[in-house]
């Protein structure tokens, strides 16, 4: 029986003719992979955020570290649904949006602890943590030591001398 393209949709999938009748599923996958390898050394992103989406989300997170950042806000910046954004974010950054924000908050806290003599409670609020206890838990989980123990050896010499007087 000869099958015309118009009739092929009336047949079960197993009986439909493909454009390459000799090709099986593994051959198709090999062809697709070879095609994506033709791009050379250029990174091929599949399913991740585009460059403009990454830039918008990163700048938004950096500007708003001192307040609550919701996944809905980040997804709307990228013009994606929450679930699609979460998957694409993980593909692009290698981490969930929540963990990325926590890592950025801890990094900001480290910068503030080195640059200022502000109390930890103030630094916690400046980094978007609800209180000092929450900040200490998150910091210890991320860094492996308490913020105060981390701060002492990392303070510049002049501040350490002033602190000991």
89 contacts 49 by C-beta, under 8 angstroms = yes
pTM for this predicted structure: 0.66
pLDDT at 68: 93
What's the confidence (pLDDT) of residue 29?
Answer: 53
The DSSP call for residue 38 is T
> What φ, ψ does residue 89 adopt, rounded to 5°?
-65, -45
**pLDDT confidence of residue 72:** 96
Per-residue model confidence (pLDDT) at position 155:
79
At 126, is the secondary structure helix, strand, or coil?
helix
Burial of 103 (0-12, 13-18, 19+ CB in 10 A): middle
Q: Quick one: pLDDT at residue 35?
A: 47
Q: What does the pLDDT read at residue 32?
A: 52
C-alpha 111/C-alpha 116 separation (Å) is: 8
Q: Which helix (H) or strand (E) holds 154?
A: helix 147-154
> Could you report the average pLDDT of every consecutive run of 10 residues in the chain (165 residues)?
50 49 57 48 66 95 94 95 95 94 95 92 93 94 93 71 51
CA 103 – CA 109 distance, rounded (Å): 10
What pLDDT does 41 receive? 44
d(CA 27, CA 159): 66
CATH class for the region spanning 97-165: mainly alpha
d(CA 71, CA 78): 11
Q: What is the pLDDT of residue 25?
A: 56
């Amino acid at each position: 029986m000869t099958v015309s393209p118009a009739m092929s949709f009336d047949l079960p999938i197993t009986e439909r003719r493909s454009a390459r009748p000799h090709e099986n599923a593994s051959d198709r996958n090999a062809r697709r992979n070879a095609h994506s390898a033709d791009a050379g050394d250029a990174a091929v992103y599949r399913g991740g955020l585009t460059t403009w989406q990454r830039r918008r989300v990163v700048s938004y997170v950096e500007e708003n570290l001192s307040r609550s950042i919701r996944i809905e806000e980040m997804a709307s910046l990228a013009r994606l649904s929450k679930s699609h954004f979460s998957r694409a974010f993980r593909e692009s950054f290698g981490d969930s949006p929540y963990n990325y924000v926590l890592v950025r908050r801890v990094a900001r806290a480290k910068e503030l602890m080195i640059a200022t003599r502000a109390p930890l409670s103030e630094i916690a609020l400046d980094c978007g943590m609800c209180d000092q206890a929450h900040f200490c838990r998150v910091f210890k989980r991320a860094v492996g030591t308490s913020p105060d123990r981390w701060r002492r050896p990392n303070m510049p010499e002049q501040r350490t001398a002033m602190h000991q007087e």
